[in-house]
Chains A and B, each alone.
Chain A
Amino acid sequence: MRAGCRKDHLMLNQVSRQPGLRLLALACALSCTLTLPAQAADDSAALTQLRRQIDDMRQEYEARLKALEARLEQARSSSAASAQPVAEAAPQATPAPAPAAQAGTSRAGNNSFNPAIAVILSGTYAGLSKDPGTWQLSGFVPGGDEVGPGARGFSLGESEIGLSANIDSWLYGSLTLAVSPEDTIAAEEAFVQTTALPNGLKLKVGRFFGGQGYLNEQHAHTWDFVDAPLAYQAFFGGQYKQEGVQAKWLLPTDQFIELGAELGNGHSFPGTDRNRNGAGAVSLFAHTGGDVGDSHSWRAGVSWLRTQAQNRTWDSTDALDQEVTNAVTGQSRLWVVDGVWKWAPNGNATRTSFKLQGEYFRRTETGDLTYAFADPAGLGLTANTDGYRSAQSGWYMQGVYQFAPGWRVGLRHDQLDSGTVDYKGNAAKLLATDYKPQRQSLMLDRSPSEFQRWRIQLSDDRAREGVRDSQIFLQYQMSLGAHGAHSF
């Protein structure tokens, strides 16, 4: 763009300079042709003829100059035609254009009234040393289908289609569709948000990523690694989607302090659909942040989420290694502490920058667990219900360093703690483990432009007790169309 500015000025200069050069050449030529014949002969007839020739040439060049000027003017006016009318030379232009009439005539908005359309294309190659079908977080309740390293070999990642626009002067709406490799389309986010409430208040209704933690609100294509941290997979089943209403209040202080509350249906893991009218999920969170000098900025927060589950079922094997089905009915309380610190020399992250982020999760669950299995002797279903109580935690820490424009390298450590799981009366049948799943990941990515990213990631995954899975991922992510700004 900056090169473009110079190009434009240069072009104008060349056009205006060329006639000047020609006149100079003409003057030289004329002085030569004038002096030589004058010395050779003083024939007046020849002189008048010469004068006529000179006049002809002058007229010709004047005509050419005029034509050039006309073309220049035409070029100027055509480039200005799509812009607004503006006083040419500003200093002496006293009748300045009326600003009231001009404000808002800019061509802001995307395709007139069409929403902004953003498309994300992504694909992955996964090389896994162990069968992903056996993947689990030992000691943790499985959090749905979206956990684990995914399928082996080439697979289409999640493609995203995002549509967003201001609805009117009070509301903003956004819809993000996720197209899975299995050809299903899901509404990842579909929400309406206020833009015109006073005093730093914002309301959001619909389906949206909850405000818990740091990474949860961000779409997968903005993650620094191919997959979500293990803590997100264990405690949110990937990412926590809230369906309900969110209120945020930004305090009128110089320091960024934001308080938020959410009420949701609580259908997402760790909650379930309970066929109730009330809210199944309640959440409160607070975030604060600021700068340290020009080069450092940070954000930290704490969140609390309470969800209800009714017959949240999963399959496992019991102490006698037989297939059993468990179902939990109860309450889940989750605390998240998150922090991110970013460094960019003088605030300019285009060349080098560094980002350090970490989050800590702690979840306690209380309720009843029903333990059921098909009796091998053919006596039908055997089931028993008893109390259930668990307290588990996990964290991750990652650092991403941009060492050259478009090149980044990152390291992440995941650690989970199975903590205490008390099966009460079922303890003889169900064995609790004190295994601590962990994983290390190293990634390198390259963005030749803002709109494409290529990534390689190596992971040493020890999520399964006694199993070490060496993983390699190759990934591309492409951004088409309107490219929404990324949050901090």
Chain B
Amino acid sequence: MSKHAEQWRLLAAGLAVLALSGPAQALKVFACEPEWAALTRELAGDQATIYTATNALQDPHQVQAKPSLIAAVRNADLLVCTGAELEVGWLPLLLRQSGNGAVQAGQPGQFNAADYVRKLEVPTRLDRADGDVHAEGNPHIQTDPRNIATVAQALGNF
């Protein structure tokens, strides 16, 4: 009896050693824009593998919810996006098609940078006659370098 218990204990210890010694699972990050990919790389170093959804030559308002992006969101542990409706034309669709519960809106796997900075031009009047209005304020928070530091702090604590 005690021999059996001893064997089990050994097995458990072996498994634990295996689990600890194995290569640490890198956090899979889906960055909506290259700015956030660069920031995440600075903060996480080699502890994260980062997928950048768009490149600097793309208009982040007008991105196709293409198959490669759906697959990337499906496999992501963390989404780092601008928020404030910048990605409203494609991210909601990716989220719905990804079947990944961990990164849905409001879940711990979704980080929206614009939640952490003061947004300019929050409209007091919502009317499409005024053009394509962002209801949550100007999402182009990257244009103020001080915002990046604030977001870095928030993302670091996230």
Contact = CB atoms under 8 A, between A and B. Distances in A.
Interface stretch (A88-96, A307-315, A319-327): A88-96
A201 B93 contact: no
Contacts of B89: 483, 485-486
A196 B101 contact: yes
A86 B117 contact: yes
A249 interface: yes
A290 B105 contact: no
A485 B88 contact: yes
Contact of A201 (B66, B99, B124, B153): B99
Given A90-B149, A248-B99, A349 B64 contact: yes
A279 B117 CA distance: 53
B62 interface: yes
Interface in A77-107: 79-80, 82-87, 89-91, 93, 96-97, 99, 102-107
B68 A291 contact: yes
A348 interface: yes
A23 B137 CA distance: 35
Contacts of A172: 96
Interface in A267-313: 287-291, 294, 297-299
Interface stretch (A146-154, A179-187, A253-261): A253-261
Interface in A129-148: none
Contacts of B64: 297, 342, 344, 347, 349, 488
Interface string A328-346: 0000000000000010101
Q: Is the interface of B mostly helix, strand, loop or mixed?
A: loop
B65 A488 contact: yes
Interface stretch (A2-10, A38-46, A64-72, A464-472): A2-10
Given A1-B138, A252-B75, A255-B71, A486 B118 contact: no
Given A8-B121, A79-B120, A254-B75, A1 B140 contact: yes
Contacts, number: 183
A91 B71 contact: no
B24 interface: no
Contact of B112 (A2, A4, A106, A487): A106
Interface residues of B, number: 67
A195 B104 contact: yes
Contacts of A290: 67-68, 71
Given A90-B146, A104-B106, A299 B136 contact: no
Given A1-B134, A346-B55, A106 B115 contact: yes
Nearest to A479: B128
Nearest to A292: B68
Contact of A487 (B65, B104, B135, B157): B65
B140 A250 contact: no
Given A200-B100, A348-B58, A102 B115 contact: yes
Contacts of B74: 200, 250, 252
Contacts of B136: 106-108
Contacts of A484: 92-93
Given A197-B99, A198-B101, A485-B89, A5 B138 contact: yes
B114 interface: yes
9 contacts: A2-B140, A85-B118, A96-B153, A105-B115, A108-B136, A297-B66, A346-B55, A451-B128, A488-B66
In the A-B complex, list the 5 residue pairs whose CB atoms are closest, starting with the nearest: A289-B67, A256-B67, A196-B101, A90-B146, A86-B118
Interface of B: 54-55, 57-59, 62-68, 70-72, 74-75, 83-84, 88-93, 95-101, 104-107, 111-112, 114-122, 124, 128, 131-132, 134-140, 143, 146-147, 149-150, 153-154, 157-158
